[in-house]
Structures are given as C-alpha cells and as structure tokens.
Amino acid sequence: MAIDKKLQLFLDRKVGEYNRPSFIPDDPVSVPHQFSSKQDIEISGFFAAIFSWGNRTTIIRKSRELMAFMDQAPYQFVQQHTENDLRRLLAFKHRTFNPTDLLYFVDFFRHHYERYDSLEDAFLLPWKGKPAARYDAEAALSAFHHYFFTLEDAPPRTRKHIATPEKNSSCKRINMFLRWMVRDDNNGVDFGLWKRIPVSKLICPLDLHVARVAQKFGLLDRDRADWTAAKQLTSELLLFDAKDPVKYDFALFGLGVMEKF
C-alpha cells in the first residue's frame, strides 16, 4: 500500500506539537506524574486511565481525590491498608465507578503485588512473564481481563470497567494506559517503565474523537469505534512508523479534542 507522505509529515508535526511536557498538566497522565516509584505510577496511572471517559478536568480531579484517600501512597495503601482505611473509600464515586468497584480494584492490586513486582506481569501472562517477542495485544488484554477477575466474589458489576477484545471493545483506556507505561521517547509524557512489551505491538487508543479524525484522513473506514477498528487504525499507522505506531495517538487525539478537527 502506498504511503501518503503528506499525511505522514502532517501527523508527525502534530505529534511533535502535543508529545511534550506542556501536554501533561491538562491530561489524566498528569496523575501518575505526581509519583516517582514504579508501583505508585502503575497504580495511580491505572486508576486515571480507567476513569478516563468524559470531561478531562473531572477525570483528573477525581483521580487526585482518590490518591488523597490513599494518603498519596497508593502502593503502600494497597499493601498495608486497614479496615478503617477501606471505610474511607466508601465516600468515593466517579460516574458509574462506585465503592464496590473500588474495593475490588484495591483487593486485586493487593493480590497481584503479593506475587509480582510490577503490573507489567499482568499483561504478559500468555508468555509467563517473560519478554514477549511474539507479544499479541489481543491475547494480552483478553488474558488480563480474565486474570483481573480471578479473585473470589468478584462483583459482576465491576466487569464493565475492564474492557476486553473478546467483547470487541476498542479497549481505549487500557491501551492508553499501556502507551503511558511502555512508550519511551524521552519527551517526558509517556513513562517507558515497562521494557518487556514491544512498543511496536501496542494498539492505538481509539475513542470517538480519534475515530472521527482517522475517518476524515482515510485511516479508518469503520463506523464503530471497536476492537476491529482499533486494529485497522493501528495497521495503517504502522505504515508511518513500524516501530512506534501509537505515537500518532498524540496527533489524532490533539486534532480531535483540542482542535475540534
């Protein structure tokens, strides 16, 4: 397939405009940027990503509110919380995410970090935690969804907060979280904490804003912003950069949300 060089150059320029530290303060990625330890970044980033639908100001405010409930030490909280600590969380709610969901998330993190040093291992289960040369995002996200709900008495209502390709969801929020954790380009926005998942195998986070822009550029021909569409868009972006296709999330998101393209 011939590459549209003019479009590639335009999108590269937009990536450069948005993939810089000035992007951070008004984006949910600002929440994990409050922390320095790997586990604190992972936990706070995961919550911020899961909360990321709707108004970004509200997302950031509610994410920071939760971090305050956790004494600005989320890793220590999930490992060492008391019953009284958990009672504090009963006051937290963000849209459809309620205390039942939150208490299960905390229990999952406690369970996971008792066994692993990093949340990265939860996305490498099909490869038994080893570097995944043949990493497949669909297998990884599907396995993560099953793993997340392996604890006893997992609330059925909480399942809607963790998307899975098995239901043809675009998995936008999980893919965004993976972008934050995996990409490492020294520009200061994404963390590059995780080294075992190939950047080239990430799937572009796809929501209605990104889908609309991608459709206008001819990068997407599906009407639905689902998993099939996310894979189609990523395959097109791989033609522009085979090593780092999801960097174009900055361009497509910036054009769709900031510039109302």
pLDDT digits (tens, 9 = 90+) for 182-230: 999 999 999 999 999 999 999 999 999 999 999 999 999 999 999 999 9
Q: Which two tokens stand for residue 50?
A: 């899961």
Write out pLDDT tens, residues 246-256.
Answer: 999 999 999 99
**CA 18 – CA 188 distance, rounded (Å):** 11
> For residue 134, what pLDDT is reported?
83
Q: Kindly state the average pLDDT of the residues 159-176.
A: 98
| Exposure of 132 in the CB half-sphere (CA atoms within 13 A) | 25
pLDDT higher than threshold 70 for residue 131: no
Write out pLDDT tens, residues 49-98.
Answer: 999 998 999 999 999 999 999 999 999 999 999 999 999 999 999 999 99
> For residue 2, what pLDDT is reported?
67
Q: Write down how long the chain is.
A: 261
Contact indicator for 225, 208 with CB cutoff of 8 Å: yes
Question: Which residues, in sequence order, are CB contacts of 180 under 8 Å at separation 6+?
Answer: 29, 32, 45, 49, 190, 191
Helix (H) or strand (E) holding 42: helix 38-50
Q: Which of 207, 209, 184 is nearest to 195 (CA)?
A: 184
Amino acid at the residue 176: M
| Exposure of 85 in the CB half-sphere (CA atoms within 13 A) | 19
Exposed e or buried b per residue across 210-231, where buried means at least 16 C-beta atoms within 10 angstroms of its C-beta: bbebbbebebbeeeebbbebbb
Summary mean pLDDT of the chain: 96
Q: Which of 186, 185, 181 is nearest to 196 (CA)?
A: 181
Amino acid at the residue 148: F
Tell me the sheet residues that pair with 97: 94
| Exposure of 73 in the CB half-sphere (CA atoms within 13 A) | 7
